[in-house]
Structure 1
Amino acid sequence: MTGRLFTKISPALWSSSRFHSMSHEAQWAFFYFCTSPHATSAGCYVLPDLYACADLHCDLATYQALRTEVLAAGMIDFDPDHSVVLIEKWFKHNAPTNESHALGTSRRLADIPSERLRKKAELALAKVEEARIAKLARDDATREAKRIKRELGIGSSLGSDRSNLINTQYLRGKSP
């Protein structure tokens, strides 16, 4: 067991033409790939055929046919030389939520024996991390701008009061 407590599966899956192109058995297999006890936070992991057969309670030919169908639909990628499964678009729904999570995910990817799938997953992780870091920077800038406005009294009711005081006849040099 990986220690992973849950996996996000988007409701948008039900409107996916790729998902609906598969048989119900292959759809079930896709859910297995996403939620398997062998899956990791990286969405890319080693899955020997016989482990999957034991988990799914099916024979090898059935499992391989299901995996081929899920692969053909573009829902996973697979490296038969290393028994590595990569769930396509994994990080779209399971992106790291913080720096520690991203670091742990990156470490998991470093252990993937398939160079092709490891690089593919690392690229996908880098893209979501870039977006997460950019959002943090925007959020920090917004918070800082709000702090400065508060200090200057801009945009607050206090700022409006100051503006109104300045615009009195007395302060404009006209006595009442």
Structure 2
Amino acid sequence: MSTLPSPNPPPVVEPKGCFMSNERPFTLVSPKLHSSKRYLALDDSGRALFNYVLHGQHQNSCGCSQIKPAYAAADLIWPAEKFLLYRGKLLDGSLVDLDADTDEIYIERWFKHHAKGSWKFGKGIMSQIAKIESGRLQEKVHAEFAGTSLGKAALEAEEAEQAAAPSVTNITSRLLGTRLMQRGG
């Protein structure tokens, strides 16, 4: 006995998730990555390492994370020398910037693709930037973030909070102006 196809096809299930204004599901990786000349210039190992750095478990919302060579090599099942070689190729290809002394890697052009959110989210990014050990990378990431609309909103919110907070100078001068302090005891 054969079964005939159902006259009513199953309903199309739309993907669930967060949608951005262009109606594609949000992910940390832009579809444009796979047509990037810099990305496509890498061999398979280079692309594997870039994908690992781009959206591995260590990545955060400021695009700069500390990745110890031995740790990454173990994750990738590579010798540490191979990791260091390909990390250098990512640097040479202008895909990342790094500080070898602190083992921090920053994804170049991170905020071109990751600068959406509220000013509160932006303040969270600023706190992550403040934790970057490398002074050079911290300065670079902060400058790139500050150049985005999200960065500007977060910086304005921080300035407004600082302006609203009572200053130590005002508290001290008010204390010195009390009768007790003026009489000397």
Quickly name the TM-score band, shorter chain normalised: 0.5 to 0.7
Letter of the aligned partner of 2:42 in structure 1?
Answer: M
Match of 1:99 among 119, 143, 157: 119
Structure 2 residue aligned with 1:128: 148
Residue in 2 aligned with 1:15?
Answer: 35
The ranges of structure 1 where at least 4 consecutive aligned residues each deviate by more than 4 angstroms after the TM superposition are 130-133
SS of 1:9's equivalent in the other structure is coil
Kindly provide the CA deviation profile for residues 1-51 of structure 1, in whole angstroms up to 9, marking residues without a partner as x: xxxxx8521111222111111111101111110111111111011111111
Equivalent-residue separation in structure 2 for 1:96 and 1:80 (angstroms): 30
RMSD: 1.7
Instruction: Point out the structure with the larger helix share.
Output: 1
Q: What whole-Å deviation, never above 9, does each CA across 1:123-174 have from its counterpart, x for those lacking one?
A: 11111136874xxxxxxxxxxxxxxxxxxxxxxxxxxxxxxxxxxxxxxxxx
Distance (Å, rounded) in 1 between the aligned partners of 2:151 and 2:119: 13
| Corresponding position: 1:116 with 2:136 | yes
Percent identity among equivalent residues? 30
One-letter amino acid of the structure 2 residue matched with residue 38 of structure 1 = H
What's the counterpart of residue 108 of structure 2?
88
For this pair of structures, how many residues does the alignment match? 128
Residue number in structure 2 paired with 1:37: 57
In 2, distance between residues paired with 1:94 and 1:50? 28
Where does structure 2 lack aligned partners over 5 or more consecutive residues?
1-25, 154-185
Query: Does the alignment pair 1:62 with 2:87?
Result: no
* Structure 1 unmatched ranges of 5 or more: 1-5, 134-176
Amino acid at match of 2:34: W
For the 8 Å contact 1:7–1:34, the answer to whether it is kept is no
Between structure 1 and structure 2, the one with the greater Rg is 1
More relative contact order in 1 or in 2 (CA 8 Å, sep 6+)?
Answer: 1
Residues 119 and 150 in structure 2, CA contact (< 8 A), matched pair in contact too: no
After superposition, the C-alpha distances for 1:47-93 in whole angstroms (9 at most, x for unaligned) are 11111112211110111111111111100011001111000011111
- Report the Cα distance in structure 2 between the residues aligned to 1:7 and 1:43, rounded to whole angstroms: 14
